[in-house]
Amino acid sequence: MRQLLADLALPDIAAAKVRATERFRPLSGYSGHLVQLKTSWCGTPQARARSIGTLPAMTELGPAAWPPAPIRTERLVLREPEARDRMAVIELFASPEVGTYIGGPRPRDELERTVPEEPRRRPGLFVVDLDGAMIGTITFDRRDAERPGHLRPDAGEAELGYMFLPEAWGYGYAAEACAAALDWFANALPSEPVVLCTQTANDRSMRLAAKLGFTEADRFKEYGAEQWFGVWSSVKSSG
């Protein structure tokens, strides 16, 4: 894990802390099921590492061009990481609240030493930007073959992940950003499903998965906790 943190591939930002909570404006139609988790929400070191570009990522995007143009929603922008995001990355991984289901927070002094000044941009990694500041990340990665929970024998399913700063919870930003990311994915890789894995104990994550349209495909025990494995597809059944 120390080496992974030493390789962290997100930006240096001299002053990119999220501003005061009055910046976080509720949006009608979103009930604010914000989660503090990331890809492979099952509480794994891989979950945390992959969100910042330290593990093999979504390298097979088919015909999709990367990076896409910034994706704009009513309140947010999904974009590539930039140098100004560094402090927000440190806040994200040092937060006890964010670390609840992914093995706990990292020591702040360790993050300040190891998070590099410049980002590593890679396919599948979006920074979620509100009014010019990073409030979270969304990722698409290929699910590890050795882990439980798969839709196909060769594994490698596209897996959705996300993390948000605690100041951004409760305003519907995760639902807004993830819905936009899934729309982009559906256009980039038509007919390919997306999976996610979350602890059943994580009520916020479970509610958001349902809101986004994920349906249960499996449940299993991993890392000492029950995991929920869901699937989303832009192709709706005719039945």
Quick check: 178 and 138 in contact, CB under 8 A? yes
Looking at residue 227, its pLDDT comes to 94
Quick check: 172 and 200 in contact, CB under 8 A? no
Quick check: 141 and 159 in contact, CB under 8 A? yes
Measured from the Cβ of residue 145, the count of other Cβ atoms closer than 10 Å reads 11
Quick check: 189 and 181 in contact, CB under 8 A? no
Give the tens place of pLDDT for each residue, 148-176.
999 988 888 999 999 999 999 999 999 99
Query: Across residues 223-239, what is the average pLDDT?
Result: 82
pLDDT at 88 over 60: yes
The residue type at 181? A
Looking at residue 59, its pLDDT comes to 57
Residues in Cβ contact with 231 at an 8 Å cutoff, skipping those fewer than 6 apart: 151, 193, 194, 195, 214, 215, 217
Q: What are the chain's domains?
A: 2-12+30-232 (3.40.630.30)
Q: Alpha-carbon distance 133 to 19, whole Å?
A: 8
DSSP H stretches of helix in the chain: 2-6, 45-51, 86-94, 108-114, 173-188, 203-212
Give the tens place of pLDDT for each residue, 11-32.
333 333 333 233 333 333 222 2
Q: Alpha-carbon distance 225 to 103, whole Å?
A: 12
Looking at residue 35, its pLDDT comes to 34
Q: What are phi and psi of 39, to 5 degrees?
A: -50, 150
Residues in Cβ contact with 224 at an 8 Å cutoff, skipping those fewer than 6 apart: none
Residue listed under structure tokens 């995760």: 174
Residue 160, beta-bridge partner list: 140
Q: What is the mean pLDDT of the chain?
A: 78
Looking at residue 61, its pLDDT comes to 61
- In what side-by-side order are the strands of the sheet with 215-222? 71-72, 77-79, 125-130, 133-142, 158-164, 194-199, 225-232, 215-222
Q: Is the overall model pTM greater than 0.85, yes or no? A: no
Task: Report the sign of the C-alpha dihedral through residues 18, 20, 26, 30, in that order.
Answer: positive
